[in-house]
Amino acid sequence: MWYLEIDSPVGPLRLAADAAGLRRIDFLPAAGQPAAPAGWVRSATALLPVAAQLEAYFDGSLRAFSLPLAPEGTPFQQRVWSGLCEIPYGETISYGQLAARLGNPKACRAVGLANGRNPLPIVVPCHRVIGQNGSLVGYGGGLPIKEKLLALERRHRG
């Protein structure tokens, strides 16, 4: 596994990929970052396209990522993550709406769990899923980061 740590407007990120594609994006603490797992190799070259697209996303010039993705998950999680990628830039939907789009309107809790296990936040835009009442709920990077991502997209959507 190759990895690269980058700074971003939402804090430090660790990107991880292999020959199949991007595997993980992890939010790191601002200080005292944990070491990469044993056996991972730092490679700016391998992750340069990911870093470049993230930079373009954060500056508002990229609205859809075009990277080889290889997240590991169950078939249901994979369906949910694919559904997340269909939510347009700058828009939000509820967990119930996403469940309905996936053909099972009663599966909103299962959709929420799969959303929470998304290993590719930002690129697979789980931040675009909100509560039924419009509130911001749950985000692996914390609600302040979810709020920043949604605000960035609203600002650049125009």
Known catalytic residues are 126
- Of the candidates 84, 85, 83, the residue with the CA atom closest to the CA atom of residue 67: 85
Q: Is 90 left (phi over 0), alpha (psi -120 to 50) or beta?
A: left
Tokens 């709406």 belong to which residue?
A: 97
Residue partners of 120: CB distance under 8 A and separation at least 6: 22, 23, 24, 25, 69, 71, 81
Phi, psi at 128, each rounded to 5°: -85, 0
